[in-house]
Chain A
Amino acid sequence: MTANAPGQVCLMQGNEAIVRGAVEAGINFAASYPGSPSSQVLGMLGKIAGERSFYAEWSTNEVCALEACVGASLAGARALCIVKQNGLLCTADSLHCGAQHGVKGGLVIVTSDDPSAHSSTNEFDSRWQAESASVALLEPTTMQETKDIVPYAFELSERTGQMVIVRLTTRVCHGRGIVKLGELPEKSHPLQKVREWDRLVCVSYLHAPMLERLEALRSEFEDCAYNHYAGPEGAEKLIVAGGTGRLYAQEAMHRLGVEDQAGLLTLGTLWPLPERYILRYLRAAKEVLILEEVDPFLEQHLEALAGKHRLSVAFRGREDGALPKIGELDPDNVSAAIAAFTGTALPEKRAASHLELPQRDMTFCAGCPHRATFHILKRVLRQEKNPGVVIGDIGCYIMSGQFAGQYAFQAVNCMGSGINLAEALGQLTRYGLDQKVVTVCGDSTFFHTIMPGVVNAVYHKANMLLLVLDNSATAMTGFQPHPGTGLTAMGAAAEPMNIQRILEAMGCKVEAADPFDVAETERTVKRLLQEEGMNVLIMRQPCATLTAKKQKKPVRVWVDQDACLGDGCGCDKYCSRVWGCPGNTWDFKNGKAQIDPVTCVGCGVCAKFCPSGAIHVERGEEA
């Protein structure tokens, strides 16, 4: 990643290409909060920050990250902020204010959208934020472009005094492709003293200069290497691709043999749109097919552009229904759309049998402490007079809304929202809502956005219970350090923030418990539910993936099939059917329980449930 070997060719992941591009741009500052699919970027930057003498941090949340980048820009620093789609929305106020006051050092935001929501709760299209804030938006297609676009974005940001957003999608972040390395600068970008009359201040009279910057960007994009055209002159059928669609389209046109029947216009500068450049091809076109990820952003803007110039063009795309309205583009839906667009037949496929294939649903990992937490919580709430209300939040534990957590919660909004939804319900318990109110959050989420909600709930004396699922990790995105872990992105030790003491300082009644100590913790939850006001229980047990890494000799858990009563047992196959751990499976031949030795990590909690004592645990040694 830091080899100064210009011209060397390597296989690089999109996230790695961003890192390499940032190093080639000589960045001074990088800040991020983890979010898939771009979580890996800052982790990699943190590892090389010392060597390349820049600063990198896992910020407490995305707002901290972007605002820190604005601060760095004031000192002329090249600052890179990395967020996912939802994180960009968190920064919306800062983004819009920043767009109005502009930047001094280059400020680039890399945002990763997750079409089809492979590792997200929703699909979202970041391009609207660029339009709304009036900042530049670039979208690369190949890994080479992804690397090259970062230094370009920094130069552009400095030349125009405006932030630049680089939008990636999952297939770029988590794809790999060939990248030819560029040169590394000898030193990082030079910092500049903050002068007495430097101003990055958001005030209303800066609205007009912001719009002027937008027009300067538009002129720049009228002639830009990231926009290009291939195909016949004056094509009546025009395919317009922004992002991943281009490579799918090139291959599909080749496969279908329609390369000379339609033109392919690729746009890498998606806001502001280079209108004159686009019109050059739009004027000749009768029919246009738009390939883009998530929303019909280009489709709507090109339709408006055609309308403004009174062009009679038919538009096909996501809005029109030529492509699915939701979900990511892929070679198949793009091929089908191009076949229909050009009136070509698709190749036929061999038919599969009618054998029904079971789905493979997500669940908590083997040995996950969350499984025990939700098992306890559901047991306690079922014993209440009225079933309680559980509000979820964002983290691995969002799966508790599914089978994995026994369908535990009734609502989950965005990250950090659980405490506030619960606060409202906690207030309503004084107005006739006769139910116990519980919400959960993870340790990383606690620092991210839960703390203001706790202040609110304590101050207003909401009747509720907050479970802090402290697994000592930002587990969902790959174990990035957060303020509770005692580590920084650059590998330095830091004084870990103590969640219990923070909560006590805020005036909460706080207790801690171990979810693996099932019986005792169940009693604690039951008792806390009866207490008035804002109560907190910290569920302490490290993430199973972390624990598994630390063990020298694996723990062995096994089923004594002579002791297991099998199908006939009164437990109704609790271990494999209800507990839902991937390590607890069923021996269909013998009709008895068994442990999958490949998956089991040896937490041993299932042994505590087995009414026949058939599950045995042999402890390993701690490393």
Chain B
Amino acid sequence: MRELKFDPLNIVVCGIGGQGNVLAAEVLGSAMCDRGCRVAVGETYGASQRGGSVMSHVRVSNKMDPSVLIPSGEAHIIIGFEPLETLRMVRKYAGRDTTVVYDPRPVYPLGVLQGIQQYPAVEDIAAEIDGLTAMAVAVPAAAIAMEAGDSKAANIALLGAFSQLPGAPLNREDLEKILSQRFKGAVLEVNRRAFAMGCEAAGKGAE
């Protein structure tokens, strides 16, 4: 059984459909289950393929069966695939102890492209995320993934960054092991590269 900094430990994974955040949450959940913890995962992906906001909640406990949803203000870690979606979740779920790792690359909602809504300045988003949380690290996950060889590996780059956060229930070695169990061949190689680059980028971002 793994020692937890908080019990239940609450993790929000958020982004836009198709970015692989449901998979990232599932990987985290089963890894903690294998370590003997009680785990609950809630997925909201009704609009997943269709450009809507998507989030997953991962909850880990050594004492209880948590419900699949995190109460507002009670997230300890937020993993965000897009700055606007990260801020949306930070406003709802962040509390005093929350740490955040997110990709600062904006994906514009249709309303913004149509010119009927404004996408806030990325600096303003970053400032508010910083102000509402204990610590926030911006990691260019999509850019890392493309450099590693496949834009779909952004989720793995973010998991790498996540493993470097204080309070993360899984460290770099844990997650590397899971990757080698889940993927094979060329896909594994791309994911390994993205993961390592994510780890390093988090180190730099936190300085």
Contact = CB atoms under 8 A, between A and B. Distances in A.
A175 B72 contact: no
B42 to A, nearest CB: 5
B142 A178 contact: no
A598 B110 contact: no
B53 interface: yes
A599 B94 CA distance: 29
Given A11-B29, A358-B111, A586-B113, A363 B51 contact: yes
Interface in A579-596: 580, 582, 584-586, 596
Given A10-B33, A178-B39, A358 B67 contact: no
Given A174-B43, A596-B107, A332 B52 contact: no
B50 interface: yes
Interface in B38-93: 38-47, 49-53, 64-73, 84-85, 87-88, 91
A247 interface: yes
A573 to B, nearest CB: 8
A597 B151 contact: yes
Given A119-B46, A365-B51, A171 B69 contact: yes
Contacts of B65: 142, 177-178, 247
A350 B132 contact: yes
Nearest to A252: B71
Interface in A250-294: 250-252, 255
Given A178-B39, A577-B115, A362 B132 contact: no
Contacts of B53: 360
B6 interface: no
Contacts of B115: 573, 577
Looking at B43, B70, B72, B107, which has the most chain A CB atoms within 10 Å of its CB?
B43
B124 interface: yes
A248 B69 contact: yes
A505 interface: no
B18 interface: yes
A359 B29 CA distance: 29
Contacts of A586: 108, 113
B84 A358 contact: yes
B109 A360 contact: yes
B50 A396 contact: yes
A55 interface: no
A176 B114 CA distance: 38
Interface in B14-50: 16, 18, 26, 29-30, 33, 38-47, 49-50
Given A119-B46, A175-B68, A362 B84 contact: no
Contacts of A585: 108, 113
Contacts, number: 158
B18 A599 contact: yes
Nearest to A360: B109
B187 interface: no
B72 A174 contact: no
B39 A255 contact: no
Q: Determine chain B's interface SS by DSSP, over half rule.
A: mixed
A228 to B, nearest CB: 14
B42 A362 contact: no
A331 B70 CA distance: 7
Contacts of A597: 146, 151
A332 B75 CA distance: 13
Interface string A324-356: 000000111001000000000001011011011
Contacts of B52: 360-362
A175 B41 contact: yes
B42 A175 contact: yes
Contacts of A582: 51, 110
Nearest to A543: B49
Contact of A331 (B41, B71, B107): B71
A362 B52 CA distance: 5
Nearest to B54: A360
B67 A331 contact: yes
A331 B74 CA distance: 11
A142 B51 CA distance: 30
A408 to B, nearest CB: 16
Contact of B128 (A352, A545, A573): A352
Contacts of A219: none
A177 B46 CA distance: 20
A159 interface: no
Nearest to B68: A175
Contact of B111 (A352, A359, A365): A359
Contacts of A358: 84, 109, 111-112, 117-119
A361 B109 contact: yes
B120 interface: yes
A553 B50 CA distance: 23
B67 A244 contact: yes
A226 interface: no
A175 B25 CA distance: 11
A374 to B, nearest CB: 14
A192 B115 CA distance: 66
A585 B107 CA distance: 9
Interface of A: 9-11, 36, 118-119, 142, 171, 174-178, 244, 247-248, 250-252, 255, 330-332, 335, 347, 349-350, 352-353, 355-365, 396, 399, 403-404, 545, 573, 576-578, 580, 582, 584-586, 596-599
9 contacts: A118-B47, A119-B46, A176-B26, A350-B95, A350-B96, A353-B128, A361-B52, A363-B110, A365-B18
- 6 closest residue pairs by CB, A with B: A118-B46, A247-B67, A119-B46, A175-B68, A358-B117, A331-B71
